[in-house]
Amino acid sequence: MNAPPSPSPSPSPSRSPSPSPPSLAVRSLAYAYPDGTQALYGVDLTIARGERVALLGPNGAGKTTLVMHLNGILTAGHGSVSVAGLPVRPDTVKEIRRRVGLVFQDPDDQLFMPTVRDDVAFGPANMGLRGEALDHRVKHALDRVGMLDVIDRAPHHLSFGQRRRVAVATVLAMEPEILVLDEPSSNLDPFSRRELGEILRGLDITLLMVTHDLPYALELCERSLILSGGVIAADGPTRGVLADAELLAAHRLELPYGFAPPT
Amino acid sequence: MGAGHHHRIFRPGDSVVHRLPPECKIPALAGFVLVVVATSRECMWAFGVYALLLAGVAVAARVPAGFVLKRMVIETPFVLFAVIIPFIGLGERVEVAGLSLSVEGLWAAWNILAKATLGVVAGILLAATTEPRAMLLGARRLKVPPLLVQIAMFMLRYMDVIVDEMRRMRVARESRGFTPRDIRHLPVVARSAGALFIRSYERGERVHLAMMSRGYAGAMPMADGPGASWRQWATAAALPAAALVVAVAGSLW
Amino acid sequence: MHVPDGFFNLAVSLSAGVVAAAGVAVCLRGARRELDDRAAPMAGLVAAFIFAVQMLNFPVAAGTSGHLLGGALAAILVGPYTAVLCITVVLAVQAFFFADGGLTALGVNITLMGIVTVLVGWGVFKLIAPRRPPAVVAASFVAALVSVPVSALVFTLLFWIGGNAPIEVSTVAAAMGGVHVLIGLGEGAITALTVGAVLAVRPDLVYGARRLAPALTLRTADGEVPVAGAAAGGAPRPARPGGFMVAGIVVTALLAGVLSFFASASPDGLERVAQDQGFGSAAVDHALGSQPFADYGEAGGVPVGVAGVIGAGVTLGVGGGLFLAVRRRRPKAQV
């Protein structure tokens, strides 16, 4: 176990309420899958513009299901979701999907085109961008994650860490209002994990990160939520949440061995 | 017959043949094979000329003979079939080295072997000189229905991923001491196939979600260069045209 | 068995191409109905799955092994239209990217391994109309078992019309039929077990069993709420199997009609040579020699096109008789 060095607090954008509507507002959201399994039992959460928030929770807590609601892939069985004031509805779903950039856990699911260039261009091209403007958008997005040099490679020829960074670029190319990452650090070696962390910290964007990598949450997000049993069980500054050993234990969360809880 | 199908044949290169747009190459090779299949089998020299034409393409594409020969194993089952025909064929028979063979069967065997071999070599040359992505673009420009092109695109992208998953499942089975030997082991193999289907299907769902998340509305935008020039069409057409001349000459002989 | 170039004469290759194109066109429309905008990624992944599964060799009898064709399996798992598209793409990719299967024989290959296996497999499955999971597994076995020898019979039919080898058609039929009944047993077993394995874990994914899924309710703070209409990614809407069967019969009739038209209109290489060389009597010994199709235009007073339709009807009848026999044996309680 290599515990990372004591993480430095990220430069924290203030949590003061902004005049614009929150980037994300979820109200009493409930959902059951077609096979009958109910995953969400009434989730409430608000994320202000510019915030970086970690969504923590054990396996099976409903994290992925919640994420699928944020851009209208799943539609609420009950309750509502709105992004920058725009409610998620069948008629708004196109604009919602531009506003919410979803990075999936397995980059192989996200990178489905024959080359990196095609893949990063997929989103903006669907939004109607063509020619020079499209090309510029693609290169800029790849540059932001430091992957410009693999632009003409096939995704399955890249390393796992590279694929994850390209997956982030595919979403950045759509210039979203909020970036939602599902387990961004999973399967990464320590070096790639740190590199990705630096890239994410450098992005000036609202960010929701679903993870059970608690040190990563502490490193990148000033605020944390715990989703457990299909409801939000805790909401507060990441330091406070991670320092509460009882709270973590109650929701099957654990700091890695040798990692000092923040004080 | 399954093993060996999954080796990609494409050889990167920068030859005249590689540079030809696929929408010219595909019809050219298909046309060539059509002419070959239509040629009467009695016209043996014509097949020799066809082979020389393909050899010319291979040289122009810098595809080594050994490479082509190795890929030709795909033909084996039909070679075996062709070898049997003279023995079981009907009609007039002839003694060859003490064996009674059907004359008609010998002709048929020659016909199948010659045409199948030329067809396989033509296919190998096409696959060896055309990048998979370019082949898809070519299919699109040739007005293949977009849904079919998209399905092929996804299949090519995820083929290796799924074959790898299958291999990992086999390693997992074998590392626990299981090797399928007879029919009683079928359920285990089938359960793996079932698990593989679920994984593939669920990945398909996730890929669909990833596409929806980025605004998929039925079309797959792929950067596409300008269409083929007249000169490129003419270059590609040289092969089937030459074959057609040979075929016509052969039938008039 | 991927038929290479030159195995069938040009007329058969081209007319099978026409049939394949017609069948695929029907399925392109149908697949959109089965899967709406999920069609491309889902069918692509299923095609990749079929490609991988075709590499699974299974022991048939002592010393021989077979591999899955997958037509019936795909039809039961993802529905007949999508299945035809998947197998078509697998075959096209094998031909164009791996040089496996002739370019001019692509139509024959798609017709035999895509359209016929799916049509027969799905047809048998629908006629048995299983209502419970064990019956679904049993029906899958029968469907896959029947699909393979019927495909072999259609191969024999094509061979009869335009095979480039002078072999008695009964020899081909016996050899193909015999071997493929064995292969069909393997295909049936592995199809049934695979469908069973999927049914046990994700019953909602088995297209052929989609009506067995229970209704959905949602527990919320306000109590239980029934869910109207599944969300995206939910259960596929019921398709119209009747349409598929009609399309199948039309395609089969087209196959027979077009084939016999070509067979009658253009003599193949051998016969032309026979005429040119003036040994017409030898031509009688050709594979077609003793068959009605050898005489262009008419065979014993029956126009060849009609004879072809009848021939295909007989083939369908064999399959139909088999599955009706199987269906009748099912206890009434299940129907």
Contact C222 A78 (CB under 8 A): yes
State whether residue A28 sits within 8 Å of chain C by CB.
yes
Contact C167 B89 (CB under 8 A): yes
Chain C residue closest in CA terms to A40: C220
- pLDDT band of A49, cuts 50, 70, 90: very high
Higher pLDDT, A229 or C217: A229
Q: How many structural domains is chain C composed of?
A: 1
State whether residue C225 sits within 8 Å of chain A by CB.
yes
Tell me the range of C106-115, C286-295, C321-330 where mean pLDDT is highest.
Answer: C106-115
Q: Which residues of A touch C235 (CB under 8 A)?
A: 34
Interface of A with B (CB under 8 A): 68, 71, 73, 94, 97-98, 100-102, 104, 106, 108-110, 112-115, 117-118, 121-123, 125-127, 154-156, 170-171, 174
State whether residue A231 sits within 8 Å of chain C by CB.
no
Is C333 a member of any domain? no
Residue A13 has pLDDT above 60, yes or no: no
SS3 state at C82: helix
pLDDT of residue C269: 34
- How far A212 CA lies from chain B's nearest CA (Å)? 21
pLDDT of residue B40: 87
Chain B residue closest in CA terms to A94: B215
- Kindly tell me the burial class for residue A87, based on how many C-beta atoms sit within 10 Å of its own C-beta (0-12, 13-18, 19 or more): middle
Q: Which two tokens stand for residue C41?
A: 């990624």
Residue A165 has pLDDT above 60, yes or no: yes
Is C57 a member of any domain? yes
Domains of chain A, each with CATH number or no CATH: 24-251 (3.40.50.300)
- pLDDT band of C279, cuts 50, 70, 90: very low
Cα–Cα distance for residue pair C214/C191, rounded to 1 Å: 24
Q: Which two tokens stand for residue B186?
A: 């079928």
Residue C86 has pLDDT above 90, yes or no: yes
Cα–Cα distance for residue pair C1/C69, rounded to 1 Å: 9
SS3 state at B62: coil
β-pairing, A100-103 vs A24-32, is unpaired
Name the amino acid, one letter, at C57.
Answer: N
For residue A26, what are the β-bridge partners? Answer: A45, A81
* Cβ contacts of B248 within 8 Å, gap of 6 or more: none
Is C331 a member of any domain? no
* Cβ contacts of B63 within 8 Å, gap of 6 or more: B11, B13, B124, B125, B128, B129
Tell me the range of A208-212, B76-80, B85-89 where mean pLDDT is highest.
Answer: A208-212
β-pairing, A100-103 vs C217-220, is unpaired
Per-domain boundaries in chain B: 16-139+226-252
pLDDT of residue B229: 86
State whether residue A90 sits within 8 Å of chain C by CB.
no
pLDDT of residue B221: 80
* DSSP secondary structure letters along C43-67: HHHHHHHHHHHTT-EEEEETTEEEE
State whether residue B214 sits within 8 Å of chain A by CB.
yes
Q: Are C94 and C86 in contact (CB under 8 A)?
A: no
Is C334 a member of any domain? no
- Dihedral angle, C-alpha B212, B217, B223, B227, nearest 10 °: 160
Is C256 a member of any domain? yes
Of A35, A74, A77, the CB nearest to C225: A77
Q: Which residues of C touch B105 (CB under 8 A)?
A: 165-167
Cα–Cα distance for residue pair C76/C241, rounded to 1 Å: 12
In angstroms, the Cα distances linking A144 to A137, A147, A203, A204, B16 are 11, 8, 8, 11, 38
pLDDT in tens, B150-197: 999 999 999 888 988 888 888 888 888 777 666 667 777 778 888 899
Tell me, what's the ipTM? 0.90
pLDDT of residue C228: 46
Q: Terminal CA-to-CA distance of chain A, rounded, Å? A: 22
Percent of chain C with pLDDT over 70: 59
Contact B40 C197 (CB under 8 A): no
Q: Which residues of B touch A103 (CB under 8 A)?
A: none
- pLDDT band of B7, cuts 50, 70, 90: low
Q: Where are the alpha helices (DSSP H) in C163-240?
A: 169-201
Residue C214 has pLDDT above 60, yes or no: no
Higher pLDDT, A178 or A72: A178
Is C281 a member of any domain? yes
Give the pTM.
0.79
Candidates C36, C218, C224, C237, partner chain A, best to mutate (most A CBs within 10 A): C218
Residue B32 has pLDDT above 60, yes or no: yes
Is C274 a member of any domain? yes
Residue C288 has pLDDT above 50, yes or no: no
State whether residue C140 sits within 8 Å of chain B by CB.
no
pLDDT of residue C168: 76
Which range, of B32-41, C48-57, C249-258, averages the lowest pLDDT?
Answer: C249-258
SS3 state at A125: helix
Of C41, C214, C218, the CB nearest to A30: C218
Instruction: Name subunits touching C (3+ CB pairs < 8 A).
Output: A, B
- CATH number, position C311: 1.10.1760.20
Higher pLDDT, C312 or B86: B86
Candidates A33, A67, A75, A122, partner chain C, best to mutate (most C CBs within 10 A): A33
Of A34, A73, A78, the CB nearest to C235: A34
Domain span at C99: 10-326
β-pairing, A38-47 vs A24-32, is antiparallel
Is C230 a member of any domain? yes
Q: Dihedral sign for Cα C126, C128, C131, C136, please.
A: negative
Q: Are B20 and B232 in contact (CB under 8 A)?
A: yes
Residue C69 has pLDDT above 90, yes or no: no
Displacement of CA C310 from its chain's centroid (Å): 19
